[in-house]
């Protein structure tokens, strides 16, 4: 059985980022990245539908250690994939990646202070041990997307596709296409397909808030032209962080005014006759993720008649397309179910501590990274109101600090204790999106105070993760020789420090 100091699960944006941080902040630590697929990039390698792109600007979705140099701030999947691969090459991460290793089980042994990581590799079971595990397995199931149970699905004679599994050779030129959904995927896919398709219908059960942004950021491009690349990147990053925070807080504080403003902007694009009911959700802005429409592409496609939006419920699939609840029938050659993702934690792996299975829904997240009662395990989950990587970078930097802190004191175990049972908790996240709701039972809980609170604020988190005390009385530490979790006195601590 091979042994490492750290095992990272997943070679997506977060996993490669985690490996680089480990390489930079914990030099000398041995590590392996176990990746179930045979490629780097995760989301940005898996999703291949036309137009696939980020919703966020790449100055904040990019790593803090690697400037984004492309003139487009909102980037396509291929460019993001290349960026992640480049990071892996630049920092020598690629040789540490074990492809086609699907992690099935993580078992902690307190006696050995080690994780045993079991994986499937080319129809063989393989095992590794590691002192620490960093889960960078994303948040959704790779093997299947979410498709609601539609009546008569098998009757449809045309082509049915889920965007998670886009057939490379799909010819949609001149075809009638229906895209079911109104989330980020549908909003991306619809204008991209409309370029070649005869007509595209975006069929939504309920509308989503949308806002148009320029794909290129002129300030970022100006800064990059006139300043050293690293400085230009940092300035743009901070500009965007501050703007996003202001924007998010203003939206949450003034939902009615925001709703009116967003609708006014769409009205300006689509003209006075257009029925804005298709863009007026029942919820408040940012209760669900706001969809970005780069350079008004969706609105332009609607204006030129290539796209129409239908707001209705599906009654059943028919041979020719769909029958809606209102009785209307839609015909299509291709139907795309952009109906979302299936939420999943730890890449679907079972986690146990000394033989006791851990149910994520029964744990409380400590500082948004570790699970109550579970030692030496980090889980990387980005922001829901800002770019994923802003938080992923900070979480892993914090975990590297924790590893170094433990090494300096000869600790082998760091375990967040169970929180006060009277503290109110709620499922993780502040979004009411369908995929969060569907997985509510399995979501780790977050508390209302202290390290149990999961802040969605990058500026606050910088202080918390980079400068906050590691030994905060909630993390319990143990040395190899301790038979139980030790309460370390300050005097003992000072004695244990190498200096």
Interacting residues with ligand FAD (CB under 6 A): 9-15, 34-37, 42-43, 47, 54-56, 61, 101-103, 136-138, 142, 184-185, 347-349, 380, 382, 387-388
Beta strand pairing status for 334-337 and 159-161?
parallel
Gap between the Cα atoms of 14 and 217, Å rounded = 24
For residue 42, the minimal CB distance to ligand FAD (Å) is 2
Closer residue to ligand FAD (CB): 137 or 439: 137
Which residue carries 């993580």 as its tokens? 106
Facing residues of 105 across strands? Answer: 118, 350
For residue 39, the minimal CB distance to ligand FAD (Å) is 8
Closer residue to ligand FAD (CB): 314 or 390: 390
Expressed in angstroms, the distance from the first to the final Cα of the chain is 35
Closer residue to ligand FAD (CB): 91 or 142: 142
Beta strand pairing status for 475-479 and 411-416?
antiparallel
For residue 48, the minimal CB distance to ligand FAD (Å) is 10
Closer residue to ligand FAD (CB): 103 or 203: 103
For 434, left (φ over 0), alpha (ψ -120 to 50), or beta? alpha
Neighbouring C-alpha atoms within 13 Å toward the C-beta of 155: 11
For residue 17, the minimal CB distance to ligand FAD (Å) is 8
For residue 268, the minimal CB distance to ligand FAD (Å) is 25
For residue 260, the minimal CB distance to ligand FAD (Å) is 26
Supply angle C-alpha 102, 107, 110, rounded to 5.
Answer: 155
Which two three-digit tokens encode residue 137? 């397995």
For residue 353, the minimal CB distance to ligand FAD (Å) is 18
Closer residue to ligand FAD (CB): 83 or 156: 83
Beta strand pairing status for 307-311 and 291-294?
unpaired
3-state secondary structure of 238: helix
Closer residue to ligand FAD (CB): 318 or 352: 352
Closer residue to ligand FAD (CB): 117 or 178: 117
For 220, left (φ over 0), alpha (ψ -120 to 50), or beta? alpha
- Tell me the C-alpha to C-alpha distance, in Å, between residue 384 and each of 207, 289, 328, 490: 19, 8, 36, 38
Gap between the Cα atoms of 103 and 316, Å rounded = 38
Closer residue to ligand FAD (CB): 29 or 121: 121
For residue 80, the minimal CB distance to ligand FAD (Å) is 8
Taking every pair of Cα atoms in the chain, the longest distance, rounded to a whole number of angstroms, is: 78
Gap between the Cα atoms of 467 and 390, Å rounded = 16
Gap between the Cα atoms of 443 and 346, Å rounded = 11
Closer residue to ligand FAD (CB): 103 or 364: 103
418: number of Cβ within 10 Å: 11
Closer residue to ligand FAD (CB): 57 or 446: 57
For residue 484, the minimal CB distance to ligand FAD (Å) is 32
For residue 54, the minimal CB distance to ligand FAD (Å) is 3
- Tell me the C-alpha to C-alpha distance, in Å, between residue 490 and each of 23, 409, 473, 475, 497: 31, 12, 12, 15, 11
Which residue carries 């959700």 as its tokens? 281
């Amino acid at each position: 059985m091979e042994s490492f100091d750290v095992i990272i699960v997943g070679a997506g944006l977060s996993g490669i980022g985690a490996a680089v941080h480990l390489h930079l902040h914990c030099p000398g630590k041995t590590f392996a990245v176990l990746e179930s697929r045979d490629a780097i990039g995760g989301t940005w390698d898996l999703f291949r539908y036309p137009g696939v792109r980020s919703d966020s600007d790449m100055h904040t979705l990019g790593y803090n250690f690697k400037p984004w140099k492309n003139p487009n701030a909102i980037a396509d999947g291929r460019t993001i994939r290349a960026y992640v691969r480049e990071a892996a090459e630049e920092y020598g991460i690629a040789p540490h990646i074990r492809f086609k290793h699907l992690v099935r089980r993580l078992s902690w042994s307190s006696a050995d202070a080690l994780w045993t990581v079991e994986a499937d590799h080319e129809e063989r079971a393989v095992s590794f041990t590691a002192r620490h595990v960093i889960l960078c397995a994303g948040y959704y199931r790779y093997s299947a997307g979410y498709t609601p149970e539609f009546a008569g699905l098998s009757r449809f004679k045309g082509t049915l596709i889920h965007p998670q599994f886009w057939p490379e050779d799909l010819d949609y030129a001149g075809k009638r296409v229906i895209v079911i959904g109104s989330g980020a995927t549908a909003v991306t896919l619809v204008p991209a397909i409309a370029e070649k398709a005869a007509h595209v219908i975006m069929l939504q059960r309920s509308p989503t808030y949308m806002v148009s942004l320029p794909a290129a950021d002129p300030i970022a491009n100006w800064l990059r032209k006139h300043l050293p690349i690293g400085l230009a990147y940092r300035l743009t990053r901070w500009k965007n962080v501050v703007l996003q925070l202001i924007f998010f807080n203003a939206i949450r504080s003034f939902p009615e005014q925001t709703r009116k403003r967003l609708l006014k902007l769409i009205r300006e694009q689509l003209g006075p006759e257009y029925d804005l009911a298709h863009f007026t959700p029942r919820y408040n802005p940012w209760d669900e993720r706001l969809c970005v429409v780069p350079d008004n592409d969706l609105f332009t496609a609607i204006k030129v008649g290539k796209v129409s939006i239908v707001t209705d419920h599906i009654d059943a699939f028919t041979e020719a397309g769909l029958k809606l609840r209102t009785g209307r029938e839609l015909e299509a050659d291709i139907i795309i179910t952009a109906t979302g993702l299936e939420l999943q934690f730890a890449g679907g792996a079972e986690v146990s501590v000394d033989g006791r299975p851990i149910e994520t829904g029964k744990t409380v997240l400590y500082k948004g990274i570790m699970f109550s009662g579970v030692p030496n395990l980090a889980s990387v989950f980005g922001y829901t109101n800002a770019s994923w990587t802003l938080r992923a970078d900070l979480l892993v930097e914090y975990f590297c600090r924790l590893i170094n802190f433990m090494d300096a004191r000869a600790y082998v175990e760091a375990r967040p204790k169970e929180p006060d049972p009277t503290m109110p908790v709620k499922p993780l996240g502040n979004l009411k999106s369908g995929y969060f709701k569907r997985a509510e039972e399995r979501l780790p809980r977050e508390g209302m105070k202290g390290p149990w609170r999961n802040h969605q604020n990058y500026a606050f988190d910088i202080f918390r993760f980079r400068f906050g005390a590691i030994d905060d009385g909630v993390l319990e530490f143990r040395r190899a020789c301790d038979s139980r979790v030790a309460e370390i006195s300050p005097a003992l601590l000072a004695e244990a420090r190498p200096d």
